[in-house]
Amino acid sequence: MSSLAVQKAPSAAGTTGAAQGRPPLRRRIALVPTLTLVIGAIYTLLPVAWVVIASTKSGHELFSTFTFLPGTGFADNLKDLNAYRDGVYWKWMGNSALYAGLGALLSTCVSAFSGYALAMYRFRGREAMFNILLAGVLMPPIILAVPQYLLLAKADLTDSYLSVLLPQILSPYGVYLARIYASAAVPADVVEAGRMDGASEWRIFTRVALPMMIPGLVTVFLFQFVAVWNNFLLPYIMLSDDEKFPITLGLYTLLEQGANTPALYTLVITGAFLAVIPLIALFLVIQRFWSLDLLSGAVKS
C-alpha cells in the first residue's frame, strides 16, 4: 500500500508541474480579445502606413516598385504640391479648417443647449422630440443631402460657405450625446439649489451645468469636427467653385485629373498624408484635455 502511494506521488507532482508550466485556461481565453484588437488595429493602420510611406516616393518609385521602404521624393512632392495652381491645396486646407472648426463649434453649442434642455426640463412633446432625434441619428446623410440642396437653392445659398456650414450645425447624434451626458453629470439637486438661491436659468446653465458637461461636449466637438473634415458628399453637391472646396473634394478633383496626368497621383497621396495630420494633432490635444477634465471632475466629487 505504501509502495503504491510512493509510485503515484511522482506522477501527481509531474501533473502539477505540467499544469503550472501552462497558463491557466482563463488567461488563454482572455488573450482572444487582445489579439482581436491587435488584428483590428493592424488592419486599420495599414492603409495609413502605406499613405505615409507612399508620400515619400517619387513618381518613378511609386509606380515601379511596391515596397514599404520610404522613398526619396518627399521634399519634391511637397514642393510640387505647394506650386500646384499657386498653392490651391492650402486654400482647400483652410476651407476644411473653417468648415470643420466653425461647424463643430456651432454644433457643440447647439448640442449643449438642446441636450441640457431635454435632460433637465419637463415639457409636452419632449419624448416625441427625442425620438425624432434618434430617428435622425439612424438616417444616412446621403438621404438628406438632396433635400438640403433644394432648400438652400430656394434661399440662393448654394455655392457658398454657408451651404456647407448650415447643414452641419444641427447634429442629432451630438444632441443625443449631450442629453445623455447632461442626465448623468448634472445632478437635479444642484440645479434646484441654484433656483432656490435666485439664480436665473441662463446663469445656472453657464455657471453650474456647463462646467460639468465639458468632457461630454469635448467628445461631441471631436466627433463633429472629424465628420465635417471628412465630409465629401455635401460639398460635392453644394459647391461648384473650386476655390471653396474642402480638402476632400479638392483631392478628388486632383485624383480625377490624375487619370490623364499620372504625375498628379504623387500630389494626391502627399496631400492625403498632410490632411490626416490635423486630425491626429486635434485628437491628441483634445484627448489630453478630456482626460484632465475627467480627473478634475473625479477630484471635485
Mean pLDDT (the chain) is 83
- Residue 255 binned pLDDT confidence (cut-offs 50, 70, 90): confident
pLDDT at 99 over 90: yes
pLDDT given at position 66: 73
CATH code that applies to domain 77-294: 1.10.3720.10
pLDDT given at position 291: 57
pLDDT given at position 299: 40
**What is the enclosing helix (H) or strand (E) of 37?**
helix 25-54
Residue 194 has, within 13 A of its CA and on its CB side, a CA count of 16
Mean pLDDT of 291-301: 47
User: 497558463: which residue's cell?
Assistant: 23
pLDDT tens digit string along 151-197?
999 999 999 999 999 998 988 889 999 999 998 888 888 888 888 88
> Considering the entire predicted model, what is its pTM?
0.81
